[in-house]
Amino acid sequence: MPHEIILVTEPDLRQAVQLDLDVIDRIENAFASLAAGQVVMPPVLSMSLPEINAEVDVKTAYVPGLDGFALKISPGFFDNPGLGLPSLNGLMVLLSAKTGLVEAVFLDNGYLTDIRTAAAGAVAARLLAPSKVTTAGVLGTGVQARLQLVAAAKVRPFGKALIWGRDAGKAARLAAELNAALGIDVAACANPADLVAQCQLVITTTPVRDPILSADWLHAGLHVTAMGSDQEDKNELDPRILERADAVVCDRISQCETMGELRSARAAGPPGSLSNVSELGNVITGAAAGRMSDDDITVCDLTGTGVQDTAMATLALERVRRAQAGTTVLT
């Protein structure tokens, strides 16, 4: 019997799927499912290729109640800009949770990953940022720097945003873009310490291997979401930050222990340190505490999980079908 598979390109996905509150809610629900203990999510297959300045990640998860599950391949080849090519690309394959047959192939070049990553940042901000955020800041000037601020603004509206980057020109251009997109005061900031001092919500979005946010800059009422560390050699936060925080929340502790900020903090501290760490899903369900007061200092360590990819892929298929997008092939 012929089987239908929908092939969807990045332009079609950009038309059908945007970063909105429904996406954020779907990602929050996925983390809650993960906390319930019935999700099957194997460790990330992560391959670092330093000889060619590249890395490849493969993520997946089966989520009871969803019609399908995703297999996501995410390559990063960081010399590509010199060839006139993007650094990041990839695809998602959605399989039926009932038959295992391929239902859709999303040739998204990382677009769906970008959206679900930003949505996770919004979930963290909604749960862990103080109740009133007047100024938000981002360290970084890439795609996630933009999307993380857009996502955060949907759940913790703020009147001002600050951007710091090692390339001041890129920071200024992103600030101008977001000023128009968000309709608020967005400015480049020359000093990351000054940015942190003015913000209640700070998001780090860089692939650095040496910390760019110092523990000396922490202040009451600050929330930090760190999403750039997703390999064992990456580290955005001064390890002392996690020690000083009132709450440290991971998307998945087992992942953060090997490739997130938690790994760096535990490596720098005494054995057994940072034992009081919770997961985002448990904070969502109320099984673990997050922010207890507006004066708390909180940290969320995001490494990116397969449960997000499955939630994103199933939502994308719904929207693609509704838009009658993509190309159907018979196999």
Provide DSSP, 145-171. Answer: HHHHHHHHHHHS--SEEEEE-SSHHHH
Q: Exposed (0-12), middle (13-18) or buried (19+): which is 23, by Cβ within 10 Å? A: buried
Which pTM does this prediction carry?
A: 0.96
Cβ pair 143, 114 in contact under 8 A: yes
* Residues pairing with 61 in the sheet: 70
- The pLDDT tens digits along the chain (331 residues) read 889 999 999 999 999 999 999 999 999 999 999 999 999 999 999 898 999 999 999 999 999 999 999 999 999 998 998 999 988 899 999 999 999 999 999 999 999 999 999 999 999 999 999 999 999 999 999 999 999 999 999 999 999 999 999 999 999 999 999 999 999 999 999 999 999 999 999 999 998 899 999 999 999 999 999 998 887 888 999 999 999 999 999 999 999 999 999 999 999 877 667 878 999 999 999 999 999 999 999 999 999 999 999 999 999 999 999 999 999 999 8
Distance CA 330, CA 152 (A): 41
Residue count of the chain, please give it.
Answer: 331
Long-range contacts at 72-76 (CB < 8 A, ≥ 24 apart): 72/113, 72/306, 72/309, 72/313, 74/110, 74/113
